[in-house]
Amino acid sequence: MAKGKVDALLGIVFGDEGKGKVVDVFTPRYDIVARFAGGPNAGHTIIFDGKKFVLRSIPSGVFDEGKLNVIGNGCVIAPDLFMAEAQELEAAGYDLRSRLHISKRAHLILPTHRVLDRAYEAAKGKNRVGTTGKGIGPAYSEKASRTGLRVGDILENFREKYEALKARHLQILADLHYTDFDLSGEEEKWLAGVEYMRQFPLTDTEIELNRALAEGKNVLAEGAQGTMLDIDHGTYPFVSSSSTVCGGVCTGLGVAPTSIGEVFGIFKAYSTRVGSGPFPVELFDATGDKIREIGNEYGAVTGRNRRCGWLDMVALRYAIMVNGVTQLIMMKGDVLDSFATIRVCVAYEKDGVRTTDMPYDTEGWTAVYRDFPGWQTPLNGLTSEAEFPQAFREYIDFIERETSTPITIVSVGPDRAQTIQR
Ligand code: IMP
């Protein structure tokens, strides 16, 4: 029997590309859906059976009976937030306990990691990253410094291990003179979350996944955040703390590079970023506000305004390169319907130097644009490629040519029907 493959579905810019929207196009093709990186900093909005859910740690295959979902070893998980997310799905009638396996090797986010996240951000002042405040950075730091707690730890002598780590965190907070926190209610909920998690299969997911692949089953690795937030390849230090790129699928699930099949890269027809850090295409004017308003660009986790700008080909080409993207998926083309001119950043410039390669330090670069005529007609009623207005077709052709990568799905509205496969 032919071995199964792991296809990756990745946000390839700054996250928030709208993966939730295409997931129902994708998940039916797979036996298993697995998350390989990140944690409750993600927020995938999914509309299923007419109901809206925001998934943070739980993979998008949970709506489908008979599909296995995996939270892989590369993830970090906050038991209290996991419980809240899972209970909402259970209340809506989805039987998670038979469908969701959690890696014993995934790391736990403690309540004190969240306090540390806030304390470190406060200490950074104007250089703060603008994190989601979910304790992501401190939990991954602890993993790397080999002092973290893993999901498997909850199975034995957990309270003792927890208290020891909490005491260490309280000492760090005291050293930082950070006193702006009260753990009482939060800790109680968190410990209840740990009890709740015990009711789920806590397993060696890397072994399960490799067995499934050997049996010819196919896996969808569902990304979180985006390539420009990757700990190695993003705009460091204004990044998240995990490997959000395709390489992270291998380490975050324990699958071999040879098992990777298609790499789907999702991007929007324009750019957004939440949090601080360089963003050469950012628009500070009415055009940026208009994109935000039409595109409803407000954070799913934090509700913050997303910073908006035109499409950035420097970032897109770089992301396609480091991920080995085989197919592109373009979201939210319809948001640009009313613009007379649509700009695309084709290079960066600083001190008279122009580059089309992503620079080591993206601070201080300005965008060089190429202008395209807008299509100025609504895309959201379109159902096939044949109906694309000429100017929209030219926009798509340009991106495909510049990236040497086909755009195989074009989304022109929030509805499932507004997803055109090419
Ligand atoms: P952290 O992941 O909470 O540490 O935040 C680090 C940076 O990544 C901040 O700029 C966040 O705004 C950004 N970030 C984290 N998760 C997401 C996401 O799911 N979408 C978009 N940005 C994110």
Say whether 101 is catalytic.
no
- Note the pTM of the prediction, 2 decimals: 0.96
Per-residue pLDDT tens digits for 348-396: 999 999 999 999 988 899 999 999 999 999 999 998 999 999 999 999 9
Q: Which DSSP string do the residues of 342-391 spell out, in sequence order?
A: EEEEEEEEETTEEESSPPS--TT-EEEEEEEE---S--TT--SGGG--HH
Say whether 113 is catalytic.
no
Per-residue pLDDT tens digits for 82-93: 999 999 999 999
Per-residue pLDDT tens digits for 78-121: 999 999 999 999 999 999 999 999 999 999 999 999 999 999 99
H helix intervals, 231-324 = 246-253, 286-295, 313-323
Q: What are 141's two structure tokens?
A: 């730091």
* CA 377 to the chain's CA centroid: 31
Distance CA 15, CA 302 (A): 14
Q: From the CA of 389, how far away is ligand 1's center (Å)?
A: 35
Helix (H) or strand (E) holding 302: none
Closest CA to 230 of 246, 214, 206: 246
Q: Whose CA is nearest to atom 23 of ligand 1?
A: 225
Split at pLDDT 50, 70, 90, the class of 274 is very high
Q: From the CA of 129, how far away is ligand 1's center (Å)?
A: 9
Ligand 1 nearest-atom number relative to CA 224: 19
* CA 64 to the chain's CA centroid: 21
Q: From the CA of 273, how far away is ligand 1's center (Å)?
A: 9
Distance CA 315, CA 229 (A): 11
Return the ∠ at Cα 115 (arms to 111 and 119), rounded to 5°.
165
Check if 229 has its Cβ closer than 6 Å to any atom of ligand 1: yes
Are 161 and 68 in contact, with CB atoms under 8 Å apart?
no
Check if 41 has its Cβ closer than 6 Å to any atom of ligand 1: yes
Split at pLDDT 50, 70, 90, the class of 72 is very high
Cis peptide before 414 (omega within 30 of 0): no
- List the catalytic residue out of 16, 80, 230, 312: 16
